[in-house]
Homo-oligomer: A and B are copies of this chain.
């Protein structure tokens, strides 16, 4: 089921990205990172929630859902830059700046971030839905959300954080965008505020699980499995769950986050009388 959604997302992105860039190198550099694969987790979450509420997945819904993947890809390109994490490898390929230079990589990121708001605002969805998506995404991704998380990450490199601080950092850096992705499905499907609040809460717990799992894999995984450099966080004295809590307690925290997400999932099913099993596939990913 997720694979069906991923295929729809990949096809939409592939068909629409080149025509959105007016300069050839910029177009190549942008498509290079956007079409390099990846799980398409964020737009897939939006579309899965839409499907649960029997919202038809037409071209307008796809465009709005794919906007968050544009934004996510920008964050990866900028995060990899020499001035930030200085990574050489992403999804098994040279990072954007290794291939096109740091200037063009900066611009590809800037373009994708801006294009995300264009796609949210120029589809055939109703104005109220589009504006609500723009507002939520700008909060999630901006200087009180994702960008603040990135700044905390840079600023605290080499300093040991408390667990509470690490949770805030991850909530902003990774959680805010995943929370948005789940919530966006409710907004597009015109759900009541109480339902959207539950969706947002599910997204928060899902985001927490995601980050704990990512930290774990960085310790336990191999470079080949992950398609990027691993054991990197440790080497650079970055703050991670295993670093603060050890492997066993980190696994316990992951189980708690997943249990919390499942509880919210049950509440959603009760409140809406819809079948939320589709989200099981997303949770199974971490097991």
| Residues of A near any B CB (own CB < 8 A) | 20-23, 25-27, 30, 74, 78, 81-84, 97, 101-107, 109-115, 117-118, 120-122, 127-128, 130-131, 134-135, 137-139, 141-145, 147-148, 150-152, 154-155, 172
Contact = CB atoms under 8 A, between A and B. Distances in A.
A285 to B, nearest CB: 28
A1 to B, nearest CB: 32
A148 B22 contact: yes
A125 to B, nearest CB: 10
B83 A101 contact: yes
Contacts of A143: 20-23, 26-27, 30, 111-112, 114-115
Which 4 residue pairs are nearest across A and B when measured between Cβ atoms?
A111-B143, A83-B102, A118-B138, A22-B148
A107 B150 contact: yes
Nearest to A141: B114
A48 B84 CA distance: 40
Contact of A113 (B30, B83, B110, B135): B110
B107 A144 contact: no
Q: Indicate how many identical chains form the complex.
A: 2
B83 A106 contact: yes
Nearest to A109: B110
Given A84-B106, A102-B83, A155-B23, A135 B118 contact: yes
A221 to B, nearest CB: 26
Contacts of A111: 142-143, 147-148, 151
Contacts of A102: 82-83
Contacts of A137: 117
A117 B137 CA distance: 9
A172 B21 CA distance: 12
A128 B126 CA distance: 10
A22 B144 contact: yes
A137 B2 CA distance: 34
Given A25-B151, A148-B23, A118 B130 contact: no
B115 A26 contact: no
Nearest to A71: B114
A9 B222 CA distance: 53
Contact of A138 (B22, B104, B114, B152): B114
Contacts of A154: 103-104, 107
A110 B147 contact: yes
B110 A148 contact: no
A143 B172 CA distance: 27
A109 B110 CA distance: 9
Contact of A115 (B22, B23, B138): B138
